Amino acid sequence: MKLLKLWYFTSPWLLQQLIWVPTRLILIILGRIEIKGTENLKKVPHNAIFACNHSSEMDVFLLPGSLPFFSRFSPIFYTSRERAFYKYAGWRQAFYGGVFFNVWGAYPVKVDLHDYAKSLETHESIVREGGSLCIFPEGRTTQDGNIQEGKGGVAYLSHVTGRPIVPVRLGGTFRLSPRDFFLGRCALSISFGEPIYIASKSGVIPSAQEFKAQANAVMDKIKKLPT
């Protein structure tokens, strides 16, 4: 293993397993979460790229908390913005992009390079080496509750690694306040769709426009999943 040295793989695995039970209980009791489409995960033999819509900072906990305990997809790795992005984000700058993010399994995308291979080098290595990745193709949380267009990186990763994309729809987190959550005034949901394999011609790398079109096809699949 190159990138996924013992520490880089073990630390997120341990952390995600340690918090699985309390997270699952909280999601069931307070979030009243409904988990749908788990039968579609049986169609994925190994690791996968989970593409989720993004409505809240809470979204990162829904996926690992909804998978089975000791799931073969664990640990889930994540993409994040570089730490400098949170420079003026108040308390978030001490949390996002720091040590905890790495321990959790999140690694930053290198932005403004206009080159998927360079921007997603770390995440490509993660998937190639057997790790499962959670990616939010929209690139940011929705501002109006609607699912936005996707960026092409998710299609690029599937194309170069050969791993399927599992569309995932998260519901109930948009504008959900901590107060409402802990008072149980919410109804969360997560739906897993059928795996999508990005078709490609041998030796041909699609254009950025083609990757974006494929990413938006994934977002369309997410929109059609039940909430």
Enumerate residues 6+ apart whose C-beta is below 8 A from 112: none
pTM of the model: 0.91
Structure tokens, 112: 């403004």
pLDDT at 121: 92
Pairing, β 34-36 against β 189-192: parallel
Q: What percentage of residues in the chain have a pLDDT greater than 90?
A: 70
SS3 state of residue 22:
helix
Q: CB–CB of 32/187 below 8 Å?
A: yes
pLDDT at 1: 47
- Cα–Cα distance for residue pair 219/48, rounded to 1 Å: 16
Q: What is the pLDDT of residues 31-87, one digit of tens each?
A: 999 999 999 999 998 899 999 999 998 999 999 999 999 999 999 999 876 655 555
Low-confidence ranges of the chain (pLDDT < 70): 1-5, 7, 81-99, 200-203
Q: What percentage of residues in the chain have a pLDDT greater than 70?
A: 86
pLDDT at 205: 82
